[in-house]
Amino acid sequence: MLCLSINYRKADASVRERFAFDKEKRSKLRHALGNSVVLCTCNRTELFFSDSDPDRAAALLSKLSGVEDTAELLYSYEGNGAVRHLFRVASGLDSMIIGEDEILRQVKEAYSEAAEDGTTSTELNTVFQAAVTAAKRVKTETALSKTPASAATVAANEAAGSGEAVSILMIGSSGKIGSSTLKNLLCHPNVHITRTSRSHSGIALDRKNVRTVAYEDRYKYADEADCIISSTSSPHFTLTAKRLREALHTRKPRLLIDLAVPHDIERGVSELDGVRLIDIDDIGAAAQQGCELKMSAAEQAESIIEEELDELLKKLTFRRFLPGLAEVKRAAGKLTFEKLLYKLRDGLNSEQFSAVLDIIGKLEE
């Protein structure tokens, strides 16, 4: 199996969107490649295939995307490396946000689409089904997808809250932590974001659940917000207790998150009815704890992947061996047991030969 990948590591959003193929283009690409699966998400476009060569696959990507030179954008994997990459992608270990859940659903949908379109082989079926099994083990046996490991992720998770619809007012989304928090928020399907802007800087967005308003109008949108996040480099408060008290008319719980240093939000807002205020120190402490847990979970996930990958590779190797089994039996029948052992000794390294002898030694058990 081969894999070509264009992802967030080498290609920014403006480039990746050129490779965000619709269903018709994905089908055209698969049929041109032969046995293949095409995975398209907001962070990656990846081709998994076995009947074509990488140069032809890269040329097809260029033709469909309109991007002439893809050489500097592409990651290439082959054989066991391609299979291991798929396992890591499906498990969330290769994601921009490590451990994110959405990618497993996207991998399953990409595989189902290809299977329904008749562009998968027995081997591709086996590989993708094994990747999904490994990813499910990672999800259930580790805390990888349950543990945020950055301040932006923690802030976004706090803001998104429960599974219900959440209205978020975001003041400042063009700085490093602000833009990262916004990107993380966009991974939550239940949020509706109103972001303020002093200019046209920041992340360009065309999303139904995001609107941009003038910074000067921030208090007008405060009352409808369930959560307000502020992350600016302003030397002055973006929200004061006095003006916020005047702006809030609806009685409901509100979370205010201050990600700025010095503080954006006046400390006195925490005395307002229903308001809970947390700042960058609170977020940072949670992120540090999450980072330690995430590193431990990622190590567990890698171990699970190696276990599942080893089982898959043994299965695939045996399947490829089966058609020639009868001929091998005839050839082996002409050898004495001792000669067979010597041939194994000469053809294997010490570790492999020791493993074979261990198995032979247990035949009577």
Phi-psi region at 245: left, alpha or beta (left = phi > 0; alpha = psi -120 to 50): alpha
Are the beta carbons of 22 and 113 closer than 8 angstroms? no
Query: Residue 104 in 3-state DSSP?
Result: helix
In angstroms and rounded to an integer, the radius of gyration of the C-alpha atoms of the chain is: 27
* Strand, coil or helix: 46: strand
- Could you count the other beta carbons within 10 Å of the beta carbon of residue 272? 15
Question: How remote is the C-alpha of 346 from its chain's centroid?
Answer: 44
CA distance 302 to 297: 9
DSSP assignment letter at 94? T
Catalytic residue among 3, 40, 42, 291: 42
Handedness of CA 62, 68, 71, 75 (dihedral sign): negative
Q: Which of 31, 177, 4 is nearest to 114 (CA)?
A: 31
State how far the Cα of 144 lies from the Cα of 183, in Å rounded to an integer.
Answer: 19
Reported in sequence order, the residue ranges of the chain that DSSP labels E, i.e. its strands, are: 2-7, 36-40, 44-49, 75-78, 166-171, 191-197, 210-214, 227-230, 254-258, 275-279
Active-site residue 187, yes or no? no
Give the CA angle between residues 355, 360, 364 to the nearest 5°.
140
Q: Are 287 and 153 in contact (CB under 8 A)?
A: yes
Write the DSSP symbol of residue 255. Answer: E
Residue listed under structure tokens 């959440």: 166
Residues recognised as catalytic: 42
